[in-house]
Amino acid sequence: MTFAVAVAGASGYAGGELLRILSGHPDFEVRTVTAHQNAGQPLVAVQPHLRSLAHLTLQATTPEVLAGHDVVFLALPHGKSGELAAAFDPETLVVDCGADHRLRSESDWTAFYGGEYFGAWSYGVPELFVGGSASPLKQREALVGERRIAAPGCNASTVALSLAPGVRAGVIDDRDLVAVLAVGPSGAGKTLKITMLASEILGSANPYAVGGTHRHIPEIRQALRAAGATAPTISFTPVLVPMSRGILATSTARIVPGTDAATVRAAWHDAYSDEPFVQLLPEGDFPRTADTLGANTALIGLAVDEAAGRVVVVAALDNLVKGTAGAAIQSANIALGLPETTGLSLNGVAP
């Protein structure tokens, strides 16, 4: 069966990446693409790298245009998917790449986003544990047959994947977590902002949302609670660096006293040894963002710093693939009963 697909926000970065991956997916046919200011333009006028979709024209983003598809991917500014959500047929699979349906706590939503709260959907990171420390279940089980999915924030999923195995296994103290991330500007979308000008970014590393203010903090805490943390606290600092895409997150946590290095490493090994897309690298090996570009992978390197009593987890992924569009399509595959890896690649582009 071929599933008819619509992509809303198709002129943006996340929409473009959805289309790039969907165009190589054997079970999906992109029938409709929508935008806002660019509505009326041929898709390739805005996304000139998507030549196989040259027959498509960007339409307005309305419930009527998006109706009648089996699957709708939303890659819209925050608040816009929430406004559209009520209009979709309950049988249509809707995957939202925005934040509108990620948070289960309305007070977190109000504190970090504000505006109307639209309620939470199933979280689109299949590899995360759910149900606490004693549970063998992963988020993938919750996605089977699902029709409403919230794809993750790219920084949030990088850090959650980095720390969840240690939390679940009880080998780290979830009240003392620290994450510092190098992130590329494509995470901020195509919108014009002075802070994103090449003249501001090239040749500089620019911290932002310092001091516990970043909107992905409640999303990370939510994912860690699902893995068994009771009241996780995390110091989270993103740093914008001059690479168009990619995230390199260095997360550290205090090791529970008396836990040896092999037991710490085993927590991550056991969590991900059967996962196709989330891979723990051999001891002494650490990922580079360049190794993940264009691939649906999250690569993780781990070291135990005995002197500091901390585990150091370095994770790399492509914010537009495993951080957004790839996660959305992987989750859609699961929801529809397709093999989870369909249309998704372990291989990136290099150099």
Ligand X SMILES: NC(=O)C1=CN([C@@H]2O[C@H](COP(=O)(O)OP(=O)(O)OC[C@H]3O[C@@H](n4cnc5c(N)ncnc54)[C@H](OP(=O)(O)O)[C@@H]3O)[C@@H](O)[C@H]2O)C=CC1
Provide the annotated active-site residues: 154
Residues in the interface with ligand X (CB under 6 A) total 31
Shortest distance in whole angstroms from residue 188 CB to ligand X2W: 3
Q: Does 76 bind ligand X (CB under 6 A)?
A: yes
Q: Which of 111, 132, 109 is nearest to 120 (CA)?
A: 109
CB of 11 to ligand X, least distance (A): 4
Told to check if 36 binds ligand X by CB under 6 A, we report yes
**Binding of ligand X by 182 (CB under 6 A):** no
Pairing between β-strand 298-305 and β-strand 247-255 as defined by DSSP bridges: unpaired
Q: Identify the residue whose tokens are 């069966």.
A: 1
The sign of the CA dihedral 193, 199, 205, 206 is negative
Residue 82 or 166: the one with the smaller Cβ distance to ligand X is 82
> Taking the complex as a whole, how short is the minimal distance between the CB of residue 72 and ligand X, in angstroms?
13
Q: How far is the CB of 284 from ligand X2W (least distance, A)?
A: 30
* H or E, element range at 32: strand 28-35
- Find the part of the chain contacting ligand X (CB under 6 A) among 31-39, 126-134, 214-222, 300-308: 31-39
Q: By CB under 6 A, tell whether 59 contacts ligand X.
A: no
Out of 15, 126, 218, 238, the only residue in the binding site for ligand X2W (CB under 6 A) is 238
Say whether residue 296 binds ligand X (CB under 6 A).
no
Q: Could you tell me which of 338, 339, 277, 343 has the C-alpha nearest to residue 125?
A: 277
Task: Output helix, strand, coil percentages for the chain, rounded to the nearest 5.
Answer: 30, 25, 45
What, of ligand X, ligand X2W, none, does residue 13 touch, CB below 5 to 8 Å by kind?
Answer: ligand X
- Given the complex with ligand X2W, which of 125 and 169 has the nearer CB atom? 125
The H or E element spanning position 332 is helix 326-336
Question: Within a 13 Å sphere around the CA of 133, how many CA atoms are in the beta-carbon half?
Answer: 12
